[in-house]
Every structure is written in structure tokens, then in C-alpha cells.
């Protein structure tokens, strides 16, 4: 496994049950904080129409795309309902010194 841990943001920059955008190396990611204070990361663009998921709505384990309301489980990346059919890539996340790190491939 790669050791490519990248600092994404301060942990308190994300509100509970919310998401922010994180750009790195010409790619865009979405960093989530769940209602029970866990952190997750996925690709930042919806697999349906390349829309930034960080503008969407986090509800329980779901991120809903702001353009067509497609839904993913942001913890597993699973596409949950049309129009999204392709799963979202997820990335390992860790917290250190109050900061969120994402392990990129």
C-alpha cells in the first residue's frame, strides 16, 4: 500500500454531517465528516456528470449530488440511486494533530 498521505485540511474546518472540496495534484476530492464525527474521502466529482459533490447534501451515510440528486454512500462509494450507476472511488483517511490526511494512490 502506498504511504502517500496528504494533508487535506484542519479537522474542524468541516462541520458535522458536511463535506468540503479538496484539490491536489490536478485532481479534486471530497472530504466528509459524518454525524458521529468520523472522516471519509472520495473522488470529488460525481461519476455521472462531473459535478462537484462538495456542493451537495450529506444525509446520514449519503452524499447527494447537487445537479441531478444522484446518491452515493460516501463511506463505501456505492452508487445508491439513479442517475448514478458507477461507484465512487474512496480513499483512506486519518486524523493527526487535528488535521485530516488522505491516502492517495
Partner 1 sequence: MPMRDYSLVGPEAEKAVQKGLTTGEWYRTDIPRKQMKELMQRSDGPAIRDTILWFALFILFGAGGFYFWGTWWCVPFFLCYGVLYGSSSDSRWHECGHGTAFKTRWMNDVIYHIASFMIMREPVIWRWSHTRHHTDSIIVGRDPEIVATRPPNLFQIFLYFFGITTAPKALQKMAIHAMGRMTGEEKTFVPESEWTKVYVIARIHLAIHALPFALALYFGSWLPLMYFGVLPLMYGAWLGVYFGLTQHAGLAEDVLDHRLNSRTVYMNPVFRFVYWNMNYHIEHHIFPMVSYHALPKLHAIMLPDLPRPYPSTIAAHRDIVGAMLRQQKDPTWTIQPELPDTAKPYQPHLQATIAPMPAE
In whole angstroms, the minimum distance from the beta carbon of 49 to partner 1 comes to: 6
In whole angstroms, the minimum distance from the beta carbon of 1 to partner 1 comes to: 32
Burial 16-34 (b: 16+ CB within 10 A, else e): eeebbebeeeeebbbbbbb
Do 74 and 88 contact (CB within 8 A), yes or no? Answer: yes
**Contacting residues toward partner 1, per CB under 8 A:** 18, 49, 55-57, 59, 64, 66-69, 71, 81-83, 85
- Which of 66/92 has CB closer to partner 1? 66
- Which of 43/64 has CB closer to partner 1? 64
Q: What is the DSSP letter of 19?
A: E
In whole angstroms, the minimum distance from the beta carbon of 20 to partner 1 comes to: 9
β-partners of residue 100 are 9, 95
In whole angstroms, the minimum distance from the beta carbon of 62 to partner 1 comes to: 9
For residue 44, give the 3-state DSSP assignment. coil
Do 41 and 91 contact (CB within 8 A), yes or no? Answer: yes
- Which of 59/95 has CB closer to partner 1? 59
- Which of 87/103 has CB closer to partner 1? 87
Amino acid at each position: 500500500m502506498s504511504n502517500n498521505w496528504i494533508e487535506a485540511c484542519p479537522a474542524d474546518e468541516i462541520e458535522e454531517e458536511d463535506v468540503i472540496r479538496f484539490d491536489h495534484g490536478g485532481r479534486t476530492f471530497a472530504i466528509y465528516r459524518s454525524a458521529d464525527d468520523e472522516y471519509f474521502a472520495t473522488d470529488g466529482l460525481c461519476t455521472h456528470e462531473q459535478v462537484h459533490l462538495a456542493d451537495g447534501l450529506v444525509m446520514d451515510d449519503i452524499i447527494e449530488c447537487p445537479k441531478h440528486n444522484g446518491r452515493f454512500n460516501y463511506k463505501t462509494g456505492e452508487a445508491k440511486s439513479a442517475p448514478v450507476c458507477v461507484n465512487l472511488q474512496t480513499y483512506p483517511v486519518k486524523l493527526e494533530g487535528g488535521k485530516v490526511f488522505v491516502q492517495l494512490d
